[in-house]
Structure 1
């Protein structure tokens, strides 16, 4: 859970700070530094609002638990979080290249029209979006105990690292390719998202919400049990200890949704998720390749090439 929280908060905090940093840097470069306080005001209000959303979410979850329906809420949270995580990766991949121009264009419009309220609201919504997403993700990885995730070392470390990276990036002392950075972190986010999807399917099968054609497609308990309890049971029943510890299984389950005895539906969903991601990104790769070929053809036909 802690590593998931670290990666999620690091990415969310960095995204928010990058956008806020782009806005404030533009304002200072155009001699409109006096407006930066309004940008930070919107960001600060968004942080407070995000905490409020987390508290409200916790109250709602407690209410579902009192009615004995918390399992259904957990499943819903996992499915929604899986969709949001996937959308987050695709959104940043699409907008990372023109993010700076878009933000500067909006600020230019707010300044020219004297729309201070719009400036505050814009920065508020930018940060609130990341905050609400974080609340959902924390609820998904902790089973509804958002407070535990917020107080853990993973979330705190993720916030600190995100702030430090953003600071050095805007100071010009850190030379990193944002496109490459978001590709790497996006890959881990996609793995977490796939794990949440599979865990949601497993929970639906456990409570009988959906059935299974093959409940246990294979059994890897002898190699890597899913939990220390499974490790102990396997040792008791066979007299032989599994090759790897159940603690490793817990880590992989929490981070990537590992299961030592998955149903066929879990396996198909897991593989299908990555197949869908591939096909969603394949047209973009072909488009980029086509553009490069066109550029190469134009270059070959230029007078210099002749």
Structure 2
């Protein structure tokens, strides 16, 4: 869970820092630094509100803990988190010039109106969104135990790393290749998201809500393969394997727990779990490919437009053109 918490908090905190950084940079550029304190006020209120959301969410989950509906709530959280992570991977992290101009335009409108409350609300909302998403993700990876995820070293380290990187970006003299960071974290977030989806599918099958196209002669959901001898997904499975065979697995169950939590690993997946995992990654890959192709087309069009404009300028006798004798 520590690795998951690190990746999630690093990515979410980085998103918030980039947006707030753009706001502060624009304010400094136009000489209106007196608004900085109101931006930070909104950020501070959003952080406090995020902790409040986490507390309320934990209370709600604890209330379900003694009820039979707890598993349904956990499944819902996993599926929602998968959707949010997918959206983040596909559409977020594209901190391009157009996005920066959009943020600056909103800030300019607020400054023109002169509303302190509007500036606080704007900073509050852009930060709160990342905080609420983090709470959802922590509920998913922690199986409803948000407090453990918040208190993990991974969550703290993620925030610290994002803060340091943000400081270097906006205060340092060197340009930071933030795009590479987003691409690297996106790979791991894809695996986490696929793992959450598979865990939700497995729970649906355990509850009898989702069936299977492959069943054993006894009517049980069949296994595509069983590699418990290689690495059981839980220490309990390791104990059962040792009891039944008298042999120890190649890799112990503690490692299996890590991979199950991090990647959705299962030593005996059903057909539906395998299809969900690899099908999700395949569709996500297609989506990313189309997005990148769309970006390349827009870049080419912009380059063509620029070349056409330059050609028109030269043809019209613009600056730098030699005049004929």
Same fold (TM over 0.5): yes
Kindly report the root-mean-square deviation, in angstroms, between the aligned alpha carbons of the 2 structures: 2.3
State which structure, 1 or 2, has the greater radius of gyration over its C-alpha atoms: 2
Cα drift, residue 288 of structure 1: 4.3
Deviations, residues 26-53 of structure 1 (Å, cap 9, x unaligned): 1112110000111111111111111111
> Which residues in structure 2 correspond to 1:35-46 (within 5 Å)?
35-46=35-46
> 2:168, 2:176 within 8 Å by CA — same for their partners in 1?
no
Decide whether aligned partners of structure 1 residues 25 and 79 sit closer, same or farther in structure 2, where only a CA change above 3 A counts. same
Structure 2 gap ranges (5+): 215-220, 312-325
1:242 aligns with 2:249: yes
Cα drift, residue 95 of structure 1: 4.8
Deviations, residues 46-87 of structure 1 (Å, cap 9, x unaligned): 111111111111121122223331111111000000101111
SS at match of 2:185: helix
Decide whether aligned partners of structure 1 residues 179 and 112 sit closer, same or farther in structure 2, where only a CA change above 3 A counts. same
Give 2:210's aligned residue: 210
Matching residue within 253, 262, 265 for 2:269: 262
Give 1:253's aligned residue: 260
Whole-Å separation in 2 of the counterparts to 1:290 and 1:153 = 42
Decide whether aligned partners of structure 1 residues 96 and 8 sit closer, same or farther in structure 2, where only a CA change above 3 A counts. farther
Whole-Å separation in 1 of the counterparts to 2:300 and 2:10 = 37
Deviations, residues 227-282 of structure 1 (Å, cap 9, x unaligned): 22222322332233222222221111111101110000000011110121122223
Which 10-residue stretch deviates more, 5-14 or 285-294? 285-294
1:123 aligns with 2:130: no
Whole-Å separation in 1 of the counterparts to 2:299 and 2:133 = 36
Cα drift, residue 173 of structure 1: 4.4
Whole-Å separation in 2 of the counterparts to 1:291 and 1:146 = 41
1:143 aligns with 2:143: yes
Matching residue within 236, 239, 243 for 1:232: 239
> Which residues in structure 2 correspond to 1:49-198 (within 5 Å)?
49-198=49-198
Cα drift, residue 93 of structure 1: 4.1
Give 1:27's aligned residue: 27
Which 10-residue stretch deviates more, 61-70 or 173-182? 173-182
Decide whether aligned partners of structure 1 residues 36 and 3 sit closer, same or farther in structure 2, where only a CA change above 3 A counts. same
Whole-Å separation in 2 of the counterparts to 1:292 and 1:155 = 37
SS at match of 2:211: coil
Whole-Å separation in 1 of the counterparts to 2:36 and 2:206 = 52
TM-score (normalizing by structure 1):
0.91
Which 10-residue stretch deviates more, 180-189 or 234-243? 234-243
Aligned residues: 303
> 1:92, 1:182 within 8 Å by CA — same for their partners in 2?
no
Structure 1 gap ranges (5+): none
